């Protein structure tokens, strides 16, 4: 081994989402809406000294074939509201919310994040996502007006505008001196103008500068454009490459883009999403993992998943039988409107061909094929194995840490907190106590100035 | 002072308990409130301040608190920021503040102000539904119309504000869309049926298909039906104008009336009740509260002196878009009982100075009203609808059992 100092690992907890990773049929599975579930989950993450809690978002209930998709968990709370409430039942845990830049307005979002940062004493973070689809737009004033190719340009301008709003107060304005009667030092506090292609606003921002200056900014896109966006403006990436080779490639690529923006490698944390299954032994963990996969991919779920590729109604097919011999319907995906995940199949005919070959070679049914090809758990093993794997990946620069996605709500993090975290602490690669107050402190990020 | 109420209070409703709310805004409603002893002006942007204040209101058994808000800096001018540095400027988002306080309280209703004019009904609906979930049934909202051009310029959607009537129409549409979204999940939509693999019964999730002049909303909400079914919707009307009466009559459960005296209250109540009836909603309960700014001391002269001192600090006599009361808690109790005969079921009090007048309400006025038998001695319900005597409504889309 080289003498390179050990990196400190960052860990976060993703509240189980509305997709088939989450196993709601387990007897231990609780409510996804009751605040008690959020309290349990957040307090477990804080007990384990995690960096932050992460909430995803979707602004329209998923549909497939024109009907509301009913096989996975459905329904979630409003992101800002539940994070503000969680700030009351936690003290140090960061609070990261995914907020869409297409169906919101910068003034409103900036004041919500600045407020959350004040109300949590510096623990707010924003995962900036984009969408363009008319399907989601049907719930909003703006509708689905945004051409697909403009979604990043709107996201960039949205974030730039929000940053201007955050920076419109430099933190020194509020004097609040009763004796002299001076509340504000400067009457110009909050003044801003932004005249751009997507945002054309001016006036005064009405939330004084928050403890972190700005919320920590996350970015999640994986495209070249998304990576460039992250390198230029994000503090952290909610990534998807959690294996050694893919992770190292992504890590090197994105960190390599930073110097162009005058930034150092430490200024952008790469945190892939990761699932896990623990057992007393590695063998037991693999057994459990297999069972979890079967619960995650029921026969019905397998058919629905196949429809994303085939872009057709496949309800007549037997999930325990062979793959369809008909070809996918090429062109715009109309079977699963608004689902970002269908975009991963850029050449459905080729995907179908590969899957048929794989199924024939290994004699797999539809369900078995979907179980085999869709994301298996990232970390499977005993606590010692999982702790070692996580540490190895971080030390090998495949990641700076992980955003863990348990498959059970709300108790799915408990075992990890009780068994894996202490091992990482023993190795000296994960904190035993919070050393700072704000989320920027936890992530080793400096508090930004206003650039004024 | 006599413990028996004045003659005029013995009107039809006098046996019903009074409802009391407090409107919270910074350090209080007097512009110099932040300079008073105990005002904690350096803490106005902290959770600590807001949780202390709401906890005090809950200790006084109040029905609910409202949180003022706007999408612009506070200003004494309608034309834009007034450039003043001697008054509180800046505020935190009201919905988030209410949510931050929710886990620290148990009974009191939490009613943030929401500006309909520039916000998305879809976002507002799920935010208030979530406030209801995290508070276990204590959420409401106070819907506000913005006609400030400088506020419109913070959004860039409209160059100038909508005309009065159209802005209020839009707010009514906003409330309608929000309410439909709350009902877009039947209470029993989540079935978790392991046998069929279905988490929800999709027949119990409903498109709301709201079509209005300024927006349309497809639905359903992403958030399941809130514990109260329909959180409490309220709106305020400033004194001297009836522009908000239609919105209050058609769209709300609670209206706050800016009135100068009992006669003004009586006239406003009659007009709104009539509009409610014309809209075919007379069977739906509607609370009408008067808004009242209060400066309270055990000695009326002390209250007067305090208000004068505040006016001197602010360099102007305090003016308000509603009635202002200065005096003792017992005198205020007299006034509330008198005004109530105008057909009001409660009051929303604006503490002139939160640090002084909120405790005067909870520790002075409330015991006085309790002695007179017109205010609760303990919380009788766990939800805001419950405190206001409103039943939990069945969802509008829910299939009714076959007759």
Residue-level pLDDT, tens digit, chain A, 452 residues: 456 899 999 999 999 989 999 999 999 999 999 999 999 999 999 999 999 999 999 999 999 999 999 999 999 999 999 999 999 999 999 999 999 999 999 999 999 999 999 999 999 999 999 887 889 999 998 777 677 778 788 899 999 999 999 999 999 999 999 999 999 999 999 999 999 999 999 999 999 999 999 999 999 878 898 899 999 999 999 999 999 999 999 999 999 999 999 999 999 999 999 999 999 999 999 999 999 999 999 999 999 999 999 999 999 999 999 999 999 998 888 888 878 777 778 899 999 999 999 999 999 999 999 999 887 899 999 999 999 999 999 999 999 999 999 999 999 999 999 999 999 999 999 999 999 999 999 999 998 887 55
Of the residues A373, A399, A429, the one at which a domain ends: A373
What are the residue ranges in chain B where pLDDT is below 70?
A: 1-15, 400-403
Paired with A269 in beta bridges are: A236
Q: Which residues of B touch A185 (CB under 8 A)?
A: 85
- For residue A344, the model assigns a pLDDT of 79
Judgement on whether residues A178 and A119 belong to the same structural domain of the protein: yes
Query: Does a structural domain hold residue A287?
Result: no
Query: Does a structural domain hold residue A450?
Result: no
Q: Select from B380, B101, B388 the least CA-distant residue to B233.
A: B388
In chain B, the residue whose alpha carbon lies closest to the alpha carbon of A192 is B154
* Interchain CB distance below 8 Å, B156 and A206: no
* Interchain CB distance below 8 Å, A206 and B99: no
Judgement on whether residues A57 and A170 belong to the same structural domain of the protein: yes
Q: Is B27 exposed, middle or buried (0-12, 13-18, 19+ CB in 10 A)?
A: buried
Query: Does a structural domain hold residue A4?
Result: no
CATH number at residue A397: 3.20.20.30
Q: Is A98 annotated as a binding residue?
A: yes
In chain B, the residue whose alpha carbon lies closest to the alpha carbon of A63 is B202
Q: Select from B209, B214, B69, B229 the least CA-distant residue to B143.
A: B69
CB count within 10 Å of CB B224 equals 28
Domain count for chain A, please give it. 2
Structural element, H or E, at residue B151: helix B149-152
Q: What does the pLDDT look like over B387-403, one tens digit per residue?
A: 999 999 999 999 865 43
CA distance B288 to chain A (A): 28
* Interchain CB distance below 8 Å, A78 and B45: no
Task: Kindly state the tokens that stand for A349.
Answer: 């005919």
* Interchain CB distance below 8 Å, A183 and B85: yes
Q: Which residues of A touch B90 (CB under 8 A)?
A: 169, 174, 184, 189-190, 206-208
CA–CA separation, A104 and A111 (whole Å): 12
Query: Does a structural domain hold residue A451?
Result: no
* Interchain CB distance below 8 Å, B102 and A121: no
CA distance A10 to chain B (A): 26
Judgement on whether residues A359 and A393 belong to the same structural domain of the protein: no
CA–CA separation, A122 and A124 (whole Å): 6
Q: Can you spell out the DSSP letters for A385-452?
A: HHHHHHHHHHHTTS-SEEEE--SSTTGGGHHIIIIIHHHHHHTTSS-SS--SSSHHHHHT-PPP----
* Interchain CB distance below 8 Å, A58 and B126: no
Of A88, A185, A204, the CB nearest to B100: A88
Judgement on whether residues A120 and A207 belong to the same structural domain of the protein: yes
Structural domain span for residue A28? 10-279+379-443
Q: Which residues of A touch B73 (CB under 8 A)?
A: 190, 204, 206
Q: Select from B142, B133, B174 the least CA-distant residue to B64.
A: B142
Query: Does a structural domain hold residue A284?
Result: no
* Interchain CB distance below 8 Å, A61 and B220: yes
User: Would you kindly state where each structural domain of chain B is located, as residue ranges?
Assistant: 7-147+227-298+321-387
Q: Is A223 annotated as a binding residue?
A: yes
- For residue B159, the model assigns a pLDDT of 77
Helices A244-257 and A224-233, packing angle to 10 deg: 60
In CATH, what number does B7-147+227-298+321-387 get?
3.20.20.30
Judgement on whether residues A218 and A315 belong to the same structural domain of the protein: no
Q: Are B118 and B152 in contact (CB under 8 A)?
A: yes
pLDDT averaged over chain B? 94
Judgement on whether residues A131 and A262 belong to the same structural domain of the protein: yes
Query: Does a structural domain hold residue A434?
Result: yes
Judgement on whether residues A272 and A365 belong to the same structural domain of the protein: no
- For residue B400, the model assigns a pLDDT of 65
* Interchain CB distance below 8 Å, A71 and B90: no
Judgement on whether residues A203 and A349 belong to the same structural domain of the protein: no
Q: Are B23 and B33 in contact (CB under 8 A)?
A: no
Query: Does a structural domain hold residue A35?
Result: yes
Query: Does a structural domain hold residue A452?
Result: no
- Give phi and psi for B23, each to the nearest 5: -95, 120
In chain A, the residue whose alpha carbon lies closest to the alpha carbon of B314 is A181
- For residue A6, the model assigns a pLDDT of 94
- For residue A452, the model assigns a pLDDT of 54
Q: What does the pLDDT look like over B310-366, one tens digit per residue?
A: 999 999 999 998 999 999 999 999 999 999 999 999 999 999 999 999 999 999 999
The beta strands (E) that lie in B238-330 are given as 254-258, 287-296, 323-327
Kindly report each contact of residues B272-281 with a partner whose C-beta sits within 8 Å and lies 24 or more positions away, as own/partner. B272/B245, B272/B248, B273/B249, B273/B343, B275/B245, B275/B246, B275/B249, B275/B250, B276/B249, B276/B250, B278/B249, B279/B249, B279/B250, B281/B249, B281/B250
Tell me which DSSP letter residue B361 carries.
I
Q: Which residues of A touch B154 (CB under 8 A)?
A: 107, 201-203
Judgement on whether residues A70 and A158 belong to the same structural domain of the protein: yes
Q: Tell me the CA end-to-end span of chain B in Å, nearest whole number.
A: 58
Q: Select from B114, B110, B128, B142 the least CA-distant residue to B383.
A: B110
Judgement on whether residues A214 and A269 belong to the same structural domain of the protein: yes
Contacting residues for B253 by C-beta, under 8 A, at least 6 apart: B140, B230, B232, B233, B234, B284, B285, B286, B287, B388, B390
- For residue B11, the model assigns a pLDDT of 39
Q: Which residues of A touch B210 (CB under 8 A)?
A: none
Q: Which residues of A touch B216 (CB under 8 A)?
A: 138, 143
- For residue B177, the model assigns a pLDDT of 98
ipTM value: 0.97
CA–CA separation, A100 and A129 (whole Å): 5
Judgement on whether residues A58 and A180 belong to the same structural domain of the protein: yes
Of B134, B150, B197, the CB nearest to A71: B197
CB count within 10 Å of CB A145 equals 11
Q: Is A378 annotated as a binding residue?
A: no
Residues in chain A: 452
Judgement on whether residues A248 and A360 belong to the same structural domain of the protein: no
In chain A, the residue whose alpha carbon lies closest to the alpha carbon of B88 is A183
CA–CA separation, A10 and A243 (whole Å): 16
């Amino acid at each position: 081994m080289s003498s390179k100092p050990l990196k400190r690992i960052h860990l976060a907890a993703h509240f189980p989402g509305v997709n088939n990773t989450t196993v709601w049929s387990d007897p231990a599975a609780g409510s996804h809406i009751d605040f008690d579930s959020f309290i349990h989950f957040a307090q477990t993450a804080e007990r384990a000294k995690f960096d932050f809690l992460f909430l995803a978002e979707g602004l329209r209930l998923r549909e497939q074939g024109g009907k509301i998709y009913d096989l996975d968990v459905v329904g979630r709370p409003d992101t800002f509201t539940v994070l503000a409430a969680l700030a009351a039942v936690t003290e140090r845990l960061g609070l990261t919310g995914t907020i869409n830049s297409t169906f919101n307005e910068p003034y409103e979002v900036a004041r919500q994040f600045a407020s959350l940062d004040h109300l949590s004493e510096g623990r707010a973070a924003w995962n900036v996502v984009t969408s363009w689809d008319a399907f989601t737009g049907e719930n909003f004033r703006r509708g689905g007006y945004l051409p697909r190719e403009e979604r990043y340009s709107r996201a960039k301008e949205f974030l730039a505008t929000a940053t201007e709003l955050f920076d419109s107060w430099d933190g020194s304005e509020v004097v609040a001196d009763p004796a002299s009667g001076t509340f504000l030092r400067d009457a110009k506090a909050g003044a801003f103008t932004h005249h751009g292609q997507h945002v054309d606003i001016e006036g005064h921002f009405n939330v004084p500068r928050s403890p972190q200056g700005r919320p920590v900014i996350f970015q999640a896109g994986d495209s070249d454009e998304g990576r460039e966006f992250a390198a230029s403006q994000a503090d952290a990436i909610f990534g998807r490459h959690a294996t050694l080779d893919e992770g190292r490639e992504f890590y090197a690529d994105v960190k390599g883009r930073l110097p162009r923006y005058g930034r150092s490698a430490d200024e952008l944390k790469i945190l892939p999403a990761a699932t896990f299954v623990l057992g007393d032994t590695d063998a037991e963990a693999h057994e459990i993992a297999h069972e979890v996969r079967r619960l995650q991919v029921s026969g019905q779920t397998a058919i629905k998943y196949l429809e994303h590729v085939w872009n057709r109604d496949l309800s007549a097919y037997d999930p325990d039988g062979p793959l369809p011999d008909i070809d996918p319907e090429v062109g715009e995906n109309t079977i699963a409107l608004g689902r970002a995940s269908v975009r991963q199949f850029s050449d459905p005919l080729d995907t179908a061909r590969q899957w048929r070959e794989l199924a024939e070679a290994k004699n797999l049914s539809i369900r078995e094929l979907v179980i085999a090809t869709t994301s298996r758990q990232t970390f499977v093993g005993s606590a010692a194995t999982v702790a070692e794997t996580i540490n190895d990946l971080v030390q090998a620069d495949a990641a700076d840490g992980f955003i863990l996605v348990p498959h059970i709500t709300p108790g799915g993090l408990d075992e990890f907190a009780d068994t894996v975290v202490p091992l990482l602490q023993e190795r000296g690669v994960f904190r035993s106590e919070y050393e700072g107050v704000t989320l920027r402190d936890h992530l080793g990020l400096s508090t930004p100035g206003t650039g004024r | 002072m006599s413990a028996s109420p004045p003659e005029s209070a013995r009107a039809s409703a006098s046996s019903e308990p009074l409802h009391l709310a407090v409107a919270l805004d910074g350090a209080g409603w007097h512009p110099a409130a932040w300079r008073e002893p105990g005002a904690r002006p350096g803490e106005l942007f902290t959770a600590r301040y807001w949780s202390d204040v709401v906890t005090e209101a809950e200790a006084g058994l109040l029905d609910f608190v409202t949180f003022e808000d706007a999408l612009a800096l506070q200003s004494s001018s309608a034309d834009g920021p007034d450039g003043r540095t001697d008054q509180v400027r800046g505020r935190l988002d009201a919905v988030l503040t209410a949510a931050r306080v929710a886990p620290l309280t148990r009974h009191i209703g939490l009613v943030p102000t929401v500006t309909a004019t520039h916000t998305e009904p879809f976002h507002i609906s799920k935010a208030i539904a979530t406030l209801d979930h995290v508070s276990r049934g204590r959420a409401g909202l106070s819907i506000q119309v913005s006609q400030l051009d400088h506020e419109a310029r913070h959004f860039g959607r409209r160059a100038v504000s909508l005309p009065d009537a159209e802005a209020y129409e839009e707010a009514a549409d906003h409330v309608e869309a929000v309410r439909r979204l709350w009902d877009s999940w039947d209470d029993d939509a989540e079935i978790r049926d392991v046998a069929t693999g279905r988490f929800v019964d999709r027949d119990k999730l409903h498109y709301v298909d709201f079509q209005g002049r300024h927006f349309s909303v497809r639905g359903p909400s992403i958030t399941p039906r809130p514990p109260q079914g329909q959180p409490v919707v309220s709106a305020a009307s400033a004194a001297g104008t009836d522009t908000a009466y239609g919105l209050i009559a058609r769209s709300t459960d609670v209206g706050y009336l800016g009135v100068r005296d009992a006669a003004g209250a009586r006239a406003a109540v009659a007009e709104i009740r009539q509009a409610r009836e014309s809209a075919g909603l007379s069977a739906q309960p509607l609370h009408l509260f008067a808004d009242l700014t209060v400066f309270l001391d055990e000695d009326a002269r002390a209250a007067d002196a305090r208000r004068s001192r505040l006016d001197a600090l602010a360099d102007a006599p305090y003016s308000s878009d509603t009635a202002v009361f200065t005096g003792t808690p017992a005198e205020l109790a007299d006034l509330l009982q008198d005004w109530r005969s105008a057909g009001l079921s409660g009051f929303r009090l604006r503490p002139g100075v939160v640090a002084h007048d909120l405790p005067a309400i909870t520790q002075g006025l409330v015991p006085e009203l309790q002695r007179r038998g017109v205010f609760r001695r303990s919380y009788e319900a766990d939800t805001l609808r419950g405190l206001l005597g409103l039943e939990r409504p069945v969802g509008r889309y829910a299939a009714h059992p076959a007759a």
